[in-house]
Amino acid sequence: MEWKPKGWITLLLGILLPPFAFLYVNQGTLFWRYFLLSLVVAVLDYVLHKSIPPSHWLNYVYLNWLFTLVCAVHAYLLCRAYSTQKVRRWYAKWWAIPAIFTIFYSLVFLFRAFCYEPFSIPATSMNPTLKVGEYIIVKKWGFGDYGSYGVTLNNTQVKDESMLQRGEIYVFYPPDSETPYVKRLIGLPGDTIVIEGDVITVNGKVLRTEFLRVDDDNKIYREFLGDKNYLIQRNPNRPVGVFQTVEVPAHHYFFLGDNRDNSRDSRFWGTVSTADFVGEVAMVLAL
């Protein structure tokens, strides 16, 4: 039986699911080309908007809008010129697009839930290491909190606590919070943490710092913790001025933000249980 794609379905798919419109009009090669192009456009949108001031009108314009329009128009023109003599491939049949879409995004969801998930940095608490607007890729396997897009599939404790290392950066849920935080791990179970303003002592050893430079009103230091070192910043005009001694309980961890005078961390809401970890920061996308 001769078959020809319908124009209104083609336009609808071109607007709602841009690359998938080409499957419907029996053009598998164009589907992959447009799919790869959509990834390039997404990256370009991210890079361009990162450099535009928040208040500028261009911050509300996206290349993806033009991409969607081009995709829909191209697919519609192919639909109008479609030859009924062409063999209809399996991916152009009525059940194929819902099936492909469901399988593809199910795999994406499972990958984000169990393996790696991107997060954006919304605040300055980890300056100068992580800046607002940057993306981090979080390794989740082994940390027990498996889910994505607000859906939790499983939530247990960290599988092996030896994977939690001082000086590394982790994502977790602070006590009594449903918002994930990203901070640097300073204290392990059994540690004694003493904080006296700018001076931090771990098990009797003061964390050594080395002054590097001044950025605006902030002083940038290199801090040394065991065999690791990283950058921190302090604002002498508004120091936090916390004085406390913390004994880190079993299966709990003590975190600090690298922006020491502008960070809500374990100095304020206490230690973090192994049941509240999301994962470890594996990569920073600083485009």
Find the CATH number of the domain harbouring 162: 2.10.109.10
Q: Per the domain annotation, does 106 fall within a domain?
A: no
149 and 67 both lie in a single domain: no
* pLDDT for 188 beyond 90: yes
Residue whose structure tokens are 């009103």: 217
DSSP state letters, the chain: ------HHHHHHHHHHSGGGHHHHTT-HHHHHHHHHHHHHHHHHHHHHHHHS-TTSGGGG--HHHHHHHHHHHHHHHHHHT--TTS---GGGSTTHHHHHHHHHHHHHHHHHHHTEEEEE--SSTTTTTS-TT-EEEEE-TTSSEEEETTEEEEE---S-GGG--TT-EEEE--TT--S-EEEEEEE-TT-EEEEETTEEEETTEE-EEEEEEEETTEEEEEEEETTEEEEEEE-TTS----EEEEEPPTTEEEEE-SBTTS--SHHHH--EEGGGEEEEEEEEE--
Domain end among 46, 79, 94:
94
Residue range 98-129, pLDDT digits in tens: 999 999 999 999 999 999 999 999 999 999 99
Q: Per the domain annotation, does 99 fall within a domain?
A: no
90 and 123 both lie in a single domain: no
What pLDDT is stored for residue 50 in this prediction?
77
145 and 213 both lie in a single domain: yes
How would residue 287 be classed by pLDDT, with cut points 50, 70 and 90?
Answer: low
72 and 122 both lie in a single domain: no
Q: Per the domain annotation, does 107 fall within a domain?
A: no
In the residue annotation, 159 being an active-site residue is answered as no
178 and 258 both lie in a single domain: yes
Q: Per the domain annotation, does 270 fall within a domain?
A: yes
Q: Per the domain annotation, does 1 fall within a domain?
A: no
> Which of these is catalytic: 93, 131, 139, 183?
183
Q: Per the domain annotation, does 103 fall within a domain?
A: no
* Residue-averaged pLDDT of the chain: 94
How would residue 57 be classed by pLDDT, with cut points 50, 70 and 90?
Answer: confident
Q: What is the mean pLDDT of residues 42-71?
A: 86
245 and 160 both lie in a single domain: yes
Q: Model-level pTM? A: 0.86
* pLDDT for 216 beyond 90: no
277 and 153 both lie in a single domain: yes
Domain end among 60, 94, 128:
94
* pLDDT for 1 beyond 70: no
What pLDDT is stored for residue 196 in this prediction?
95
Q: What is the mean pLDDT of residues 201-220?
A: 94
Q: Per the domain annotation, does 230 fall within a domain?
A: yes
How would residue 72 be classed by pLDDT, with cut points 50, 70 and 90?
Answer: very high
Q: What is the mean pLDDT of residues 264-274?
A: 96
In the residue annotation, 183 being an active-site residue is answered as yes
227 and 274 both lie in a single domain: yes
Q: What is the mean pLDDT of residues 201-206?
A: 96
Q: What is the mean pLDDT of residues 147-151?
A: 91
> Which of these is catalytic: 125, 139, 263, 266?
125
How would residue 217 be classed by pLDDT, with cut points 50, 70 and 90?
Answer: confident
What pLDDT is stored for residue 75 in this prediction?
97
**CA pair distance 178, 224, nearest whole angstrom:** 31
Nearest alpha carbon to residue 180 among 264, 285, 276: 276
277 and 146 both lie in a single domain: yes
Nearest alpha carbon to residue 75 among 40, 136, 125, 23: 23
**CA pair distance 125, 261, nearest whole angstrom:** 8
* pLDDT for 54 beyond 80: no
Query: 81 lies in which domain range?
Result: 7-94
126 and 28 both lie in a single domain: no
Q: Per the domain annotation, does 102 fall within a domain?
A: no
Contacts of 137 (CB under 8 A, 6+ apart): 116, 117, 118, 281, 282, 283, 284, 285
15 and 84 both lie in a single domain: yes
Identify whether the C-beta of residue 278 lies closer than 8 Å to the C-beta of residue 113: no
Q: Count of domains in the chain?
A: 2
Domain end among 63, 94, 125:
94
Q: Residue type for 220, please? A: I
41 and 174 both lie in a single domain: no
What pLDDT is stored for residue 163 in this prediction?
95
